[in-house]
C-alpha cells in the first residue's frame, strides 16, 4: 500500500534523525534555511526532531546550534540561540538568534504577544462555525487508566446549569492558564478540514487541545488528544481511510498534521517568514481533496 509505505518511510526518517552524526544533522538544518540576516537565522524544522534533549533523545536542535552557526558563518561564530519552541512532531518556521541579546528581544516579543503565529492543521471533521475564536483556559491533569499519563485539558470558566441550561461561572482552577486560539476553515472535504490557526497565547499543546476538546475536531494523526481516558491510535472515518488508502489497524503510524506556516516578527522591520508544508502534509491534502490553490 503506497500510503502505508509513506508512513513507514516517515517513521524511518524520524528514527534516522536520531542516528545521524550531529554534523550531518546541522547540514540538513542549514539546507532548510528559510531566511538569515545579521541578527537571526530562520530554519524549516523537520518532522520528528525534538527541540530539546531528554530520555531516549540522541539528537535535538539545541545540541547542533554551535555546529550550525559555524557552518553558516565561520569557525569562530557564537552558537545560535533558541527563541521559541515547537513540538517534536510539528514542522515549519523556527527562529534562531545569532546573539543572546537578540534572543532576549525576540523572547520578549513572543511573551508580550507581538509575534503573529499562523499554523496549518488537517483536522477530523469541520468546526462549527467555520471561523471563530476558542477562548477556554487550560490545565495539565493526570489521566487514570491502564497506563497512567498526563494531558493538557480544558478548564472552562463557565458551565451550563442542568436544571435550566443557563450559563453560570465556575470556580477557576488555580493552575489553569488563559488560552486563546483564532481559527478559520480554509477547505473541507472527505470528513476532514484544512484549518488556519492563530494562537494568541502560547500554552503547551494549546492548538491540539482547543481543536480536539473545544471544537471536537482533533488534528489528523494526533493520537494523544483524540481520546481522553486512554492512549490509543486515532479512530478515522471510513471515507478518510479510503481516501488515504489506509487500514484502521495502521492508523497509529499516521503523523501529526500540524505545521508552523508563518511568523510575522517585528524586529526592527516587519519580517514575514513563510514556510511551505512538508511533502507528507501536501500529499495528504491532495488525497483528501483539500484544495488550497487560493492560499
pLDDT tens sequence for the chain (295 residues): 677 777 777 777 777 777 888 999 999 999 999 999 999 999 999 998 999 988 877 889 999 999 999 999 887 889 999 999 999 999 999 999 999 999 999 999 999 999 999 999 999 999 999 999 999 999 999 887 777 778 999 999 887 888 888 888 887 788 899 999 999 999 999 899 999 999 999 999 999 999 999 999 999 999 999 988 877 899 999 999 999 999 999 898 899 999 999 999 999 889 999 999 999 999 999 999 998 765 5
Burial of 80 (0-12, 13-18, 19+ CB in 10 A): buried
In the structure grid, which three cell numbers stand for residue 119, read together? 499554523
The residue extents of the domains of the chain are 1-112, 114-265+277-290
Q: What is the CATH number of domain 114-265+277-290?
A: 3.30.2350.10
272 has catalytic annotation: no
Q: Are 1-112 and 114-265+277-290 equal in CATH topology? A: yes
Distance CA 154, CA 170 (A): 13
Tell me the H-state helices in 73-173.
100-111
The model scores a pTM over 0.75: yes
- Annotated catalytic residue, options 63, 87, 222, 272: 87
CATH number assigned to the domain with residue range 1-112, chosen from the 4 options 3.30.750.24, 3.50.90.10, 2.40.170.20, 3.30.2350.10: 3.30.2350.10
Enumerate the β-bridge partners of residue 153.
Answer: 139
Burial of 283 (0-12, 13-18, 19+ CB in 10 A): middle
Amino acid at each position: 500500500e503506497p500510503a502505508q509505505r509513506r508512513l513507514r518511510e516517515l517513521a524511518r526518517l524520524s528514527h534516522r534523525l536520531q542516528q545521524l552524526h550531529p554534523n550531518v544533522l546541522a547540514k540538513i538544518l542549514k539546507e532548510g534555511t528559510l531566511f538569515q540576516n545579521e541578527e537571526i537565522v530562520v530554519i524549516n524544522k523537520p518532522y520528528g526532531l525534538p527541540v530539546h534533549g531528554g530520555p531516549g533523545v540522541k539528537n535535538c536542535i539545541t545540541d547542533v546550534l554551535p555546529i550550525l552557526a559555524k557552518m553558516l558563518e565561520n569557525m569562530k561564530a557564537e552558537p545560535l540561540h533558541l527563541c521559541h519552541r515547537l513540538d517534536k512532531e510539528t514542522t515549519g518556521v523556527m527562529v534562531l538568534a545569532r546573539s543572546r541579546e537578540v534572543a532576549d528581544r525576540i523572547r520578549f516579543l513572543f511573551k508580550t504577544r507581538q509575534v503573529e503565529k499562523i499554523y496549518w492543521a488537517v483536522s477530523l471533521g469541520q468546526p462549527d462555525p467555520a471561523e471563530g475564536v476558542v477562548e477556554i483556559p487550560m490545565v495539565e491533569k493526570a489521566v487514570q487508566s491502564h497506563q497512567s499519563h498526563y494531558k493538557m485539558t480544558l478548564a472552562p470558566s463557565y458551565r451550563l446549569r442542568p436544571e435550566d441550561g443557563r450559563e453560570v461561572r465556575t470556580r477557576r482552577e488555580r493552575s489553569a492558564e488563559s488560552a486563546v486560539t483564532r481559527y478559520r476553515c480554509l477547505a473541507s472535504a472527505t470528513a476532514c478540514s484544512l484549518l488556519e490557526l492563530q494562537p494568541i497565547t502560547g500554552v503547551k499543546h494549546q492548538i491540539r487541545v482547543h481543536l480536539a476538546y473545544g471544537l471536537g475536531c482533533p488534528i489528523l494523526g494526533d493520537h494523544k488528544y483524540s481520546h481522553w481516558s486512554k492512549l490509543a491510535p486515532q479512530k478515522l472515518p471510513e471515507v478518510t481511510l479510503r481516501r488515504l488508502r489506509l487500514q484502521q489497524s495502521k492508523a497509529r503510524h499516521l503523523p501529526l498534521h500540524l505545521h508552523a506556516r508563518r511568523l510575522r516578527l517585528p524586529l526592527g522591520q516587519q519580517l514575514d517568514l513563510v514556510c511551505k508544508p512538508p511533502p507528507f502534509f501536501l500529499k495528504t491534502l491532495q488525497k483528501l481533496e483539500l484544495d488550497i490553490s487560493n492560499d
